[in-house]
Amino acid sequence: MSRNKYPQLTRRKIIQAAAEEFLAKGFTAASVDNILQKTGLTKGALYYHFGTKAELGYAVVEEVFEGLVREEWLEPLTGVDDPLTRLGELIAGICEKPSPEEIALGCPITNLALEMSAVDEGFRRRINWVYDRWRRGLARALRLGQTKGTVREDVDAVAVATFLVGSVSGCRGLAKNAQSQEILALAGGVLRDYLETLRPPSGPAAGPPPGGPTFKTYRKTGC
């Protein structure tokens, strides 16, 4: 067998297939052989690149799930003057127009977090790193809003960011179990109402009307 000229491509293929399996079945129930069958590769390829099933899982967290958070939440919020409006759009995108898979499978990181964090410290740390970036991104956006006057001065940006991450992932879990988009929409509506609470009392109540078309560009797949 000749040397592959693009080993990183092989690595990517394995990680992608693994991410799908972990999302669908969870880490423990996922089978290494299944993952490899999807790629057409064999054990040797996997254990050359990773060495262990857990390390493969770590790579999925760091290189796939982190990216989902960044694309879905962090990038759409960077440099936005009115973060509450934008957050409302993002939440609407997830809660009101989810794909069937998003409902059925829920939030990838949260699934992994609840399954593995109490069992495997390596997972816990890496997932925590993703969550931290998520929370900090939201907090930074909120603080920028405070600077611009679109967010009340007295809100604790970090606390609210933490709450938002928890709420969003929790409500997605609820909807996953119920397999119901309506439940997701219900909870999403309340969450958006809550966000309006954070605006300064006077001045223009809100930005553009919620549910506008702009948010669509931010939707991709996952978190």
**Interacting residues toward its own copies by CB under 8 A:** 24-26, 28-29, 104-106, 110-111, 113-115, 117-119, 124, 127-128, 131, 156, 158-160, 162-163, 165-174, 176-179, 183, 186-187, 189-191, 194, 197
Q: Helix 108-116 crosses helix 7-25 at what angle (to 10 degrees)? A: 70
In the list its own copies, DNA, none, the entry touching 147 (Cβ below 5 to 8 angstroms by class) is none
The binding site for DNA (CB under 7 A) comprises: 1-7, 10-11, 30-34, 40-45, 47-49, 51-54
Q: How far is the CB of 180 from its own copies (least distance, A)?
A: 9
Cβ-based nearer residue to DNA, 41 or 114: 41
Tell me, what amino acid is at 205?
A
In the list its own copies, DNA, none, the entry touching 54 (Cβ below 5 to 8 angstroms by class) is DNA
Output Rg (C-alpha) for the chain, integer angstroms.
Answer: 19
Q: Which residue has the tokens 């119920």?
A: 178
Q: How far is the CB of 159 from its own copies (least distance, A)?
A: 4
Cβ-based nearer residue to DNA, 46 or 87: 46
In a 3-state reduction of DSSP, which class is residue 87? helix
What one-character-per-residue DSSP string does 103-150 give?
Answer: HHH--HHHHHHHHHTTT-HHHHHHHHHHHHHHHHHHHHHHHHHHHHTS
How many Å apart are CA 90 and CA 5, to the nearest integer? 40
